[in-house]
Structure 1
Amino acid sequence: MALELGRTPTQSEVFARTHTRKEDREWVDKRSSDVNGAYEEELKRLQDERQAAIDAGDPVPPLQSTRPRCGHE
């Protein structure tokens, strides 16, 4: 995948590649779709938090979750 993209793929790209069908790019099951949606929402929340911290004057705030992990990792 890295050769195809010309860079290291993101976790989201790898997950999508391994959990969607080649022929129609549909998720292989509802759980895969749900996990992807939750990941994208959490990533967006963290990016928004980081931007708010930067806007408030924190030059390099961490990009990390303060929420407990769901236990599937």
Structure 2
Amino acid sequence: MALELGRTPTQSEVFARTHTRKDDREWVDKRSSDVNDAYEAELKRLQDERQAAIDAGGPVPPPPSTRLRCGQR
């Protein structure tokens, strides 16, 4: 996948590749779709939190990629 993209794939890209069908790119099951939706929502929340801290001039939390892992609860 890295060769295909020309870079290291994101966790989200790897998850999507391994949990969607090749022929139609649909999620293999509802659970996979739900996990992806939850991950994307948490990633967005962490990005917004980080941007708010930057805008406020306060201490900036580390990037979401260092704080969020697939399957983390």
Tell me if both proteins adopt one fold, taking TM over 0.5 as the criterion. yes
Query: 2:35 corresponds to which residue?
Result: 35
Matched pairs, number: 67
Query: 2:45 corresponds to which residue?
Result: 45
Cα distance between partner residues in 2 of 1:36 and 1:25: 14
SS of residue in 2 equivalent to 1:47: helix
Deviates more, 1:50-59 or 1:11-20: 50-59
1:8 aligns with 2:4: no
Taking structure 2 as the reference length, the TM-score comes to: 0.84
5+ residue gaps, structure 2: none
Whose helix proportion is higher, 1 or 2?
A: 2
Sequence identity, in percent? 87
CA RMSD of aligned residues (A): 1.5
Question: Aligned AA for 2:17?
Answer: R
Q: Which structure has the larger Rg over C-alpha atoms? A: 1
Larger relative CO (CA 8 A, sep 6+): 1 or 2? 2
> Aligned-pair distance for 1:59?
5.8
> Aligned-pair distance for 1:57?
0.3
Cα distance between partner residues in 2 of 1:58 and 1:25: 41
Taking structure 1 as the reference length, the TM-score comes to: 0.84
